[in-house]
Copies of this chain bind each other. A is one copy, B any other.
Amino acid sequence: MQLKIALLGGDGIGPEVLTESVKCLQAVAETFDHSFTYSKALIGAAAMKKFRTPLPDQTLEIALEADALLFGTIGTLQYDNNPSSPIRPEQGLLRLRKELGLYANIRPVKMFPEIIKNSPLDRALVSGTDFEIYRELTGGIYYGEKKLSDDGTVATDICTYSEKEISRIAHKAFKAAKKRRKKLTLVDKANVLETSRLWRRVVKTLSESYPEVTLECLYIDNAAVQLLLNPTHFDIILTDNMFGDMLSDQGSVIIGSQGLLPSASIGEKHCMFEPVHGSYPKAEGKNKANPVASILSTALLLGHFGMKEESRAVIAAVRKSFKKKIVTPDILGSSKYGTDYVGDFIADHINDID
């Protein structure tokens, strides 16, 4: 297969972990005889430095022309400490998602038995955890109109959802549930929010078209608790943009490190793959960031294009790195291995499938 892949490293540790992902994709290309070509582009604070905008036209062009995007991370301490800056790195990512129509963000949370002792939670509780969060990605309060009164004393954010925005991702979530354990959990705050009530109504109506899937509805505060106390209860979780942001970071706690969770963002025409974790500015350039979340994102990319065996080979190589303890210090405190060494190990083991 031929694929044009855009590489948007972004800020912080993004470019570093992306380098390791490209090594893995190249190992896949060689082992399985595919041809992947890459174009790099700037986004976020890195783009603002050079182009004064977090999403330059040439970056958007490269993104629109690619078959798939690999994304790093976004945000720097400079802007985190100054959230009132009128132009911000995150705006680049938010606009990119919107321009590419990437409305469905899929975040698989799967416990790897090799590193189960890394979870701060009871082993018996988390063993067998295997769920996917379907987070709506281009609507809700993150995209709604923002206002600040002229005197700067009153601020407003607007959260809006339409039936169409809800049903298109809900269909994707129901279809995914059908292929898995046939359970879908809608997470909302329908006892308080009007948008949540619309989510519930739309999803309940849609569920009639998926009679084999069991639908349950949970309030977000309860879901956040149940996710920790009973993670194996969940199969597919469907939720809005903000609730999904919060829940998926909790997913990383369950499996023991923020450096492990990959994600896929899917629209009608485009697709993008990125780690769930943030830009971790303190680790930038120190060769200690965990590349696994980004590498597992390439496994999602390969799976998305039907390359199932290739996807499995990447995951198998990652698990081999766990088994051999070739991991970054977030996984094993005493580990001396850096980002690049772990990436090399995983890439090197993609071709030696047992």
Residues of B within 8 A of A229 (CB): 120, 253
A117 to B122, CA, bound (A): 11
A163 CA / B148 CA spacing, docked (Å): 11
For window 267-298 of A, CB contacts with B under 8 Å fall at: 278
Which residues of B sit under 8 angstroms from A278, Cβ to Cβ?
222
Name the CB-closest residue of B to A195: B155
- Check A112 for interface membership: any CB of B closer than 8 A: no
Cα A285 to Cα B245 in complex, Å, equals: 37
- Please name the residue on chain B nearest to A146 by beta carbon: B194
Q: A246 CA to B220 CA in the complex, in Å?
A: 7
Number of this chain's copies in the complex: 2
- Per-residue interface assignment for chain A, residues 212 to 253, with 1 indicating a CB less than 8 Å from any chain B CB and 0 otherwise: 000000001110110011000000000000100110011011
Query: Across the two chains, which residue of chain B brings its CB closest to A81?
Result: B217
Number of interface residues of A (CB under 8 A): 58
Q: List which A99-144 residues lie within 8 A (CB) of chain B.
A: 120-122, 125, 141-142
Subset of 6 A-B contacts with CB under 8 Å = A75-B191, A80-B191, A120-B122, A142-B192, A152-B163, A153-B164
**18 other A-B residue contacts (CB within 8 Å) besides A79-B191, A156-B195:** A80-B191, A83-B200, A84-B197, A120-B229, A141-B157, A141-B193, A146-B194, A148-B194, A152-B163, A154-B161, A155-B161, A156-B159, A189-B242, A221-B246, A222-B278, A224-B249, A225-B250, A225-B258
